[in-house]
Amino acid sequence: LIDENQERLKLQRQFPFPDFASALHFTNQVGEFAEKIGHHPDLYTAWGKVIVVWYTHKIQGVQVGDFLCAAETDRIYSQN
Amino acid sequence: LIDENQERLKLQRQFPFPDFASALHFTNQVGEFAEKIGHHPDLYTAWGKVIVVWYTHKIQGVQVGDFLCAAETDRIYSQN
């Protein structure tokens, strides 16, 4: 779950999907959540997978809120 | 436009946007085109930008079709 990237801590998880359309649908679900709370992850969408990366630009690291967002992302995935 | 990544040639371009919602909208436009033609790029969506990467898995490189897809991606962006 925790990934060290260019010496900045980020919360990164890869979610598998059976095709491109279902991956893009998940990207939109996470994007809708992000818009609602006003905090935005990086979303890497490809055929059969989405990688979601949560971190806080301002501190170039991870705050409590990022863990809550990652948990919500897991919940959204589990309901698909 | 052309990016060398792990010794495999890919067509990569970054498109700027004023916010997250418009970036995600563009991701969906390119995703819709990808579904229509049955060839799918990697789409990296973040606040204020989308990075689109076209390549052909089967040959682990770039074919003529990828250049056409990259051109169509530019066209979609220019109409936003």
- The structural domain count of chain B equals 1
- Three-state DSSP state, A59: helix
Torsions phi, psi for B69 (to 5 deg)? -65, -40
Q: What are the pLDDT digits (tens) for B31-45?
A: 999 999 999 999 999
Residue B69 CA to residue B77 CA, distance in Å, equals: 12
Q: What are the pLDDT digits (tens) for A39-62?
A: 999 999 999 999 999 998 888 788
For residue A6, the enclosing domain spans 2-78
Taking an 8 Å cut-off on Cβ atoms, the answer to whether B20 and A31 are in contact is: yes
Q: What is the CATH number of the domain that holds A19?
A: 3.30.1360.20
Describe the crossing of helices B64-78 and B20-37 by its angle, rounded to 10 degrees.
140
Which of B21, B28, B47 shows the shortest C-beta gap to A24?
A: B28
Q: How many helices (H) and strands (E) does chain A have?
A: 2, 4
ipTM reported for the complex, 2 dp: 0.89
Q: Which residue has the tokens 């109409």?
A: B79
Cβ-Cβ contacts under 8 Å, B41 against chain A:
46
